[in-house]
Structure 1
Amino acid sequence: MLSVNEAENIIFNLVKPLNHQKDIETVDLLAATGRILASPVTSQLDFPHWDNSAMDGYAVIYQDVQQASEEKPAVLILVEDIPAGYQPQSNIQSGQSARIFTGAVMPKGADTVVMQENTRKEGDRVFILKAPNPQEFVRHRAAYYQAGAELLPAGIQLNAPEIAILAAAQCTHLNVYRRPRVAILSTGNELVTPEQTLQPGQIVDSNQYALAALVKQSGGEPLMLGIIKDEPEALKGAIADAIANADLVLSSGGVSVGDYDYVEQILESLGGEIKVSSVAMKPGKPLTVATFNIPNGAIYFGLPGNPVSALVSYWRFVQPVIKKCSGIAEGWKPKFIKAQTRENISSNGKRETYIWGKLDLVDGIYEFSVAGGNKSSGNLINLAQTNALAVLEVGKKLVNVGEEVEVLRVY
């Protein structure tokens, strides 16, 4: 049985990001949210596009107003009003000024903007009551970005700020990585779909829906293959199809040591090389990871059948794998932070233990609350609103209320 760190090192080293030449597709800007940029983006526009005003006020020549004060204001002739979106017609000469608004193009000759609060207007004259700093409130062309330089690098996720930048740069079509294809299947004679009438002894297959949701949230494309009965030939056929058509395969159930747990022997019969067969963690001990010598290089994850165990295993190992596979350059590794616990957290200390609950930031300090109710790995109900897992290392049996605990953030 591998330690969690040993299993992590093996699993993460198996993963190869999508190919930046073969695994890309072009999408329009409105479809790009959440996607991973596959090629660097440049723009032919400077930012700002032209010198413009950062304030409502008056465009002036600094030398005309550098000595201005309330006692001795500088008096300038107004020659033009310049609203945003208007091309100035005047060339400001000494002794002149133009009324200007935020975002408007600076007129030629002017080099400074005096905010309107420091002025007084009388007819066609403006009185400057306070000397500005040189070039104050002027946003210069290309101060933020120069045309032709790299605007956004490859390997980043496109979220709202990046989408705004791309829109402003008039980049309407983008090369992004395709989403990793993740096949999902559940094994077990006892399983039924949510639509079926539940009979005595049967269990609704919630894992497939949870894993599909998690795959989407991780940036993957879930391929739901349904429930496969505990029949070796049916299971072998389903797994063979899955590894041939997906980058990753997730199954839940069938990876323990019961009489109907066939997954590992089927993987080996299909040429799979078992890299991980169990991990010293609780919940989530029965974890099978296998690779295949096939062109698409699929990786198989056999997750435990118990709902909490399946999700904890996913958060700990599979979520980072999908993110790394997706082509994201950084930030794919698990994120651990320190938090104060609001309750005592205990473990038998024999395996690395994960306690599910909720992480909150309170007055600048992270606090972790344990989920209420029974802590059984079969208790799906108290997973609701879980966003973090407290981690107790091997040998650690108790963390008292108010003490610091390491927490894996999962959302």
Structure 2
Amino acid sequence: MLNVTTAAQIILDLIQPLDPHQDGESIDLNHARGRILAVPVISNLDFPHWDNSAMDGYAVRYQDVQGCDEQHPAILEIIETIPAGSQPQKTLEAGNAARIFTGAMMPIGADTVVMQEVCQATGDRVYVKSAPQLGQFVRKQAAYYQAGNTLLSPGIMINPAELAVLAAAQCTQVQVYRRPQVAIFSTGDELVEPDQSLQPGQLVDSNRYALLAGLQQLGVEVEVLGIVPDQPEALRKTMEKAVTSADMVISSGGVSVGDYDYVAEVMTALGGKIQMEAVAIKPGKPLTVAEFVGKLGNSSRSCLYFGLPGNPVSALVTFWRFVQPAIKKLSGLSGGWNPNFVKAISMSVLRSNGQRESYLWGNLYLSGGKYEFRLAPGGDSSGNLINLAGTNGLAMIPVGTREVAVGEDVLVLMLSWI
């Protein structure tokens, strides 16, 4: 049985990220939010495009105002007004000033902006009553970015800030990675759809909906293959279809050691190389991971298969801890794959048997600048899906630790829903 850290590293090492050339596509800027940039973006524009004012005031020559003060103001002739979006028409000579507004282009000859609060304008004259520093309130051309350099690096997610940069660079078509293809299904004779009438002994297939939501949140394309009964031939057909069409396959159930648990057996029969069948984690011990390599469908490629436990909480915990990082790496993200753990003060007594790395769910919140964690009420059974609702963190209890007392530090895996 692998420890959690080793299992997580094995999984990440198995992932081959999408290829920027074979797996890239050009999309319109309007549809780029949440996508992963596949190639560097290089602009032929400087940022700022030209020297411009960072303040409403007056563009001046520093040498004309360097010694002024309220008792001895510099008196300058206003030769033009420059609003944002217009090009200056005149060159500043000695004793000249130009009325200028935030973002407006600096006129030739000016090297400094004096803010309007320290000036008094009368007719075509302005009295400057406070000496500025040289270059004050001037944004110099190319101070933020010089044309020809890399503007945005590949492997980043395009979020609002990146969209703004791309738009400013007039990059209306963006080369991104295609969305990873993930196939999911659930196994078990006891499972039924949510709209079916429950018979004694049956359970609604809630795992598929939870996993589908988690995958959609990660921005992947999902093929839902439904419920597969505990029959080797039915499982073989579904699994074969999944591994030949998807980059990754996720099933839940059928990975324990029961008489009707066939997932590992069918994986092997189809040529999958099993990398792990158990991890020292609670909940989620019976995690099975296999790699399929070679001729899959119409191409030679690899597919990673995750056989998650059937218990609802176990399925989600293993998804968050192991599958989510793998998808992030697969998608082309250059880093930040691993789960986000933060140190928090436990506001509840947290207990474990100490034999496996244990995850207890609850609420993580900031209080006085520090994170605090409070255990969800109602017990921590891996079958108790109900009290998982509304939680946003998983407190991690290391192997060998049986109790975390109130007030002690604990590492908490943050669950992000946005």
Tell me whether the two structures share a fold, i.e. TM-score over 0.5. yes
TM-aligned CA deviation for residue 410 of structure 1: 2.8
TM-score by length of 2: 0.96
Report the alpha carbon displacement of residue 218 of structure 1 after superposing the two structures with TM. Answer: 2.2
Equivalent residue runs for 1:208-227 within 5 Å: 208-227=208-227
Where 1:208 maps in the other structure, the secondary structure is helix
Matched to 1:44, the amino acid is N
Q: Which position in structure 2 is the counterpart of 1:270?
A: 270
> Structure 2: how far apart are the matches of 1:173 and 1:122?
50
Partner of 1:69: 69
Q: Which moved more, 1:272-281 or 1:235-244?
A: 272-281
- Measure how far apart 1:116 and its partner are: 0.3
Gaps of 5+ in 1: none
- Whichever residue aligns with residue 247 of structure 2, its letter is D
Q: Per-residue deviation at 1:200?
A: 2.5
- Look up the match of 2:102: 102
Between the aligned partners of 2:378 and 2:131, the Cα distance in structure 1 is 67
Instruction: Kindly indicate whether residue 307 of structure 2 is the aligned counterpart of residue 307 of structure 1.
Output: no
Code of the aligned partner of 2:214? L
Match in the other structure for 1:341? 346
Rounded Cα–Cα distance in structure 1 between residues aligned with 2:402 and 2:275? 30
**Deviation per CA, 1:147-184, whole angstroms, max 9, x where unpaired?**
11110011111111111000010001111111111110
Three-state SS of the structure 1 residue aligned to 2:239 is helix
The offset of 1:197, in angstroms, is 2.4
Partner of 2:16: 16
* CA-to-aligned-CA distance 1:34-74 (integer Å, 9 cap, x gap): 11111000111110111110000001111111111100101
Note if contact 1:39-1:153 (Cα within 8 Å) is conserved in structure 2: yes
Whole-angstrom distance in 2 between the partners of 1:112 and 1:75: 15
Paired residue for 2:140? Answer: 140
- Asked if 1:370 is matched to 2:379, the reply is no
Contact 1:192 1:202 in 2 (8 A): yes
Confirm or deny: 8 A CA contact 1:320 1:334 kept in the other structure.
Answer: yes
RMSD: 1.0
Deviation, 1:9, is 2.4
* Pairing of 1:112-131 with structure 2 (within 5 A): 112-131=112-131
Q: Which of structure 1's runs of 4+ aligned residues deviate more than 4 A?
A: none
Q: 2-side partners of 1:40 and 1:362: how far apart?
A: 41
Equivalent position of 2:162 in the other structure: 162
1:33-52 alignment runs, 5 A limit? 33-52=33-52
Which shifted more, 7-16 or 77-86? 7-16
Cα distance in 1, alignment partners of residues 46 and 74 from structure 2: 34
Between the aligned partners of 2:5 and 2:107, the Cα distance in structure 1 is 63
**1:358–1:387 contact (8 Å) kept in structure 2:** yes
Task: Tell me how far 1:293 sits from its aligned partner.
Answer: 2.5
Which residue pairs with 1:401 in the alignment?
406
Is this contact kept in 2: 1:244–1:296, CA < 8 A?
no
| TM-score normalized with structure 1 length | 0.98
Matched, 1:229 2:234: no
Does the CA-based 8 Å contact 1:51-1:140 persist in structure 2? yes
Q: Does 1:88 align with 2:111?
A: no
* Structure 1 residue 329 corresponds to structure 2 residue 334: yes
The range that moved more, 155-164 or 362-371, is 362-371
Structure 2 stretches lacking a partner, 5+ long = 295-299
Please name the residue that 2:297 is paired with.
Answer: none
SS class of match (1:250): strand
> Which residue is equivalent to 2:396?
391
Cα distance per residue 1:58-96 (max 9 Å; x no partner): 011111111111001011111111111111111111111
Q: 1:286 corresponds to which residue?
A: 286
Q: CA–CA distance in 1 between the matches of 2:172 and 2:374?
A: 44
Structure 1: which amino acid aligns with 2:205? D
Question: Aligned AA for 2:275?
Answer: K
Q: Distance in 2 between matches of 1:388 and 1:276?
A: 26
Match in the other structure for 1:244 = 244
Deviations 1:90-133 (A, max 9, x none): 11111111110000111111111000000111111100000000
Q: Distance in 2 between matches of 1:5 and 1:126?
A: 69
What's the secondary structure of 1:59's corresponding residue?
A: strand
Out of 389-398 and 372-381, give the one that drifted further: 372-381
Per the alignment, residue 259 of structure 1 pairs with: 259
Distance (Å, rounded) in 2 between the aligned partners of 1:244 and 1:408: 33
Q: Contact 1:219 / 1:323 at 8 angstroms: preserved in 2?
A: no
Q: CA deviation at 1:359?
A: 1.6
Residue 258 (structure 1) shift: 1.4
Q: Distance in 2 between matches of 1:361 and 1:173?
A: 40
Amino-acid identity (%) = 60
